[in-house]
């Protein structure tokens, strides 16, 4: 089991490094589309064993789970980076309030952020184009270029860098195929039509549908099962201008 978790982690790390770049900034929002792209180069001949299955020695569903998990991690990384850059921008006294407003507005939309990083024109939905035009009207072309250049510099400075995968004290995997029977917990293994089964310290008293995350802690020598029970979506009815 430990070896399987390590292989799953290496596969997830492979996707993390592959799609953490600026060009994939928007692509990770639709992991299903990325999955379809990966399938084309992973298994060009139908019926044959895919490259990822061969390299990591597990089933297709496991690299799909690793890809899905990597996309979720990358989305969180970009969101965390945006929050970090806002603090950096706020502390820069060399910029005017209007320049900071422009940068905050750009960070609100990943498509605009990506366009600035790639030196491309910003394209936004029609309802937001007017707001951007209004902000830019208060600035000179030189001030806008300075703001864009500064955003590129600080993004590259704090952006996640692809790195090698090391052996961690714990590994986790997202699993769709799992079941509880009494205190016995079963989840999919790397062998077709076979599952890992372990005895848990207490019975399962939560909903038995949906995804779970299985964490193997090698240091504490234990297996943990994590499941999202419920979540609440908040709506923002604020009438403030975007970026304020």
233: pLDDT confidence band, cut at 50, 70 and 90? low
Average pLDDT over residues 50-57: 87
**Residues 198-219 pLDDT 10s:** 888 877 777 777 777 788 877 7
pTM: 0.82
Give the range among 69-73, 102-106, 195-199 with minimum mean pLDDT. 195-199
Same domain, 117 and 146: yes
Of 180, 177, 230, which is closest to residue 201 (Cα–Cα)?
Answer: 180
C-beta of residue 157 within 8 angstroms of C-beta of residue 85: no
Same domain, 177 and 200: yes
The pLDDT of residue 2 is above 90: no
Instruction: Confirm whether 87 is domain-assigned.
Output: no
Instruction: Confirm whether 22 is domain-assigned.
Output: yes
Query: What pLDDT is recorded for position 236?
Result: 59
Q: DSSP H helical segments within the chain, as ranges?
A: 2-19, 31-42, 51-56, 60-90, 97-108, 110-117, 126-137, 141-158
Same domain, 149 and 202: no
Same domain, 6 and 70: yes
Same domain, 68 and 123: no
Same domain, 68 and 102: no
Instruction: Confirm whether 219 is domain-assigned.
Output: yes
Task: Give the end of a domain, one of 77, 111, 140.
Answer: 77
Residue 99 belongs to domain spanning: 94-158
**Residues 139-154 pLDDT 10s:** 999 999 999 999 999 9
Total domain count for the chain?
3
Which two tokens mark 112?
């605009």
Interhelix angle 141-158/60-90, nearest 10 degrees: 130
């Amino acid at each position: 089991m430990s070896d399987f978790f390590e292989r799953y982690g290496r596969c997830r790390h492979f996707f993390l490094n592959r799609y953490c770049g600026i060009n994939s900034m928007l692509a990770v929002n639709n992991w299903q589309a990325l999955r379809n792209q990966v399938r084309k180069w992973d298994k060009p001949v139908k019926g044959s064993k895919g490259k990822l299955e061969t390299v990591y020695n597990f089933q297709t569903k496991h690299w799909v789970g690793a890809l899905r998990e990597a996309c979720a991690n990358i989305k969180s990384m970009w969101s965390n980076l945006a929050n970090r850059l806002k603090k950096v921008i706020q502390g820069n006294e060399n910029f005017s309030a209007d320049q900071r407003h422009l940068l905050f507005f750009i960070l609100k939309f990943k498509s605009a952020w990506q366009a600035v990083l790639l030196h491309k024109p910003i394209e936004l939905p029609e309802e937001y184009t007017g707001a951007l035009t209004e902000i830019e009207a208060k600035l000179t072309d030189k001030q806008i270029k300075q703001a864009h250049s500064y955003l590129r510099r600080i993004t590259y400075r704090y952006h996640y860098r692809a790195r090698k995968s090391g052996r961690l004290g714990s590994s986790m995997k997202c699993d769709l195929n799992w079941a509880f029977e009494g205190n016995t917990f079963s989840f999919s293994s790397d062998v077709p039509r076979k599952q890992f089964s372990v005895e848990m310290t207490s019975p399962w008293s939560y909903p038995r549908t949906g995804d779970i995350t299985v964490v193997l802690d090698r240091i504490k020598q234990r297996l943990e099962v994590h499941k999202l029970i419920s979540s609440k979506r908040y709506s923002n009815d604020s009438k403030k201008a975007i970026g304020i």
